[in-house]
Amino acid sequence: MVQRMNAGDCQTQVYYHMDAHRLVKDCLKGRPEAQRQLYDEFSEVMLGVCYRYTKSLMDAEDVMQEGFIKVFRNIGQFKFQGELGGWIRRIMVNTALNYLKQNRNYQADLSFFDNGMHPVSDDNPDVKMLARDLADMIRQLPTGYQTIFNLYAVEGFTHVEIGKMLGINEGTSRSQYARARGLLITWLEKQSEEHKTATYVRP
């Protein structure tokens, strides 16, 4: 990635080429230029992570800002046993989950009761899951479904881990994921049929 800089950006340029060890150490010393560089390096990706768990970009920005506060407050806990971006991502996910639990706009919808939906059937091979379309559809899911689908299918957590994170049992996580997936497939099938109709049917 290339970053355009002017003469006044010399300090930023130095940090841009530093490794994660030096950047973390300087963040621990409270150096604002290091903190700014870390934020600039990861904020775009982390906003996308937060947006997957919320219903609006404004909420995602709130989650991300709170997440970075936690990153800088706890950066001494990063032990370089993995990628710095992965460690930050985990904080963002946990911050998003706490936000959903504490925000009354999400609390009512963050439920995991059986609503009578049928489990997912085999995938329709005609359905094309385009990344952008799928991301938009995931955000339209009820918050509980959206959360579990993201944790399992995107973040890679197991249903046991998800259960511990959300205070539910493993079976509930599995069934909610299956229902979320089934609902997404139904929407995608409908979208595919609508696309075929628009393409092949002429007035």
**CATH number for 84:** 1.10.1740.10
What are the CA-CA distances from residue 117 to residues 155, 175, 183, 189 (Å)? 24, 10, 9, 17
Give the residues of the chain that fall short of pLDDT 70.
1-18, 108-133, 194-203
Is residue 117 one of the residues assigned to a domain?
no
Indicate the number of domains in the chain: 2
What is the structure's pLDDT at 103?
A: 87
Q: What is the DSSP string of 15-51?
A: HHTS-HHHHHHHHHTT-HHHHHHHHHHHHHHHHHHHH
Cα separation of 89 and 80, whole Å?
Answer: 14
pLDDT for the residue 188:
81
pLDDT of residue 71: 97
Q: Which domain covers residue 145, as residue numbers?
A: 131-200
- For position 108, what pLDDT does the model report? 65
Q: Is there a single domain that holds both residue 89 and residue 179? A: no
The tens digit of pLDDT for each residue in 86-119 reads: 999 999 999 999 999 888 878 766 666 444 333 3
Q: Is 112 inside a domain boundary?
A: no
Which pLDDT belongs to residue 98?
A: 93
Task: Please indicate, yes or no, if residue 137 is contained in any of the structural domains.
Answer: yes
Task: Look up the CATH number of the domain holding residue 194.
Answer: 1.10.10.10
Which pLDDT belongs to residue 13? Answer: 37
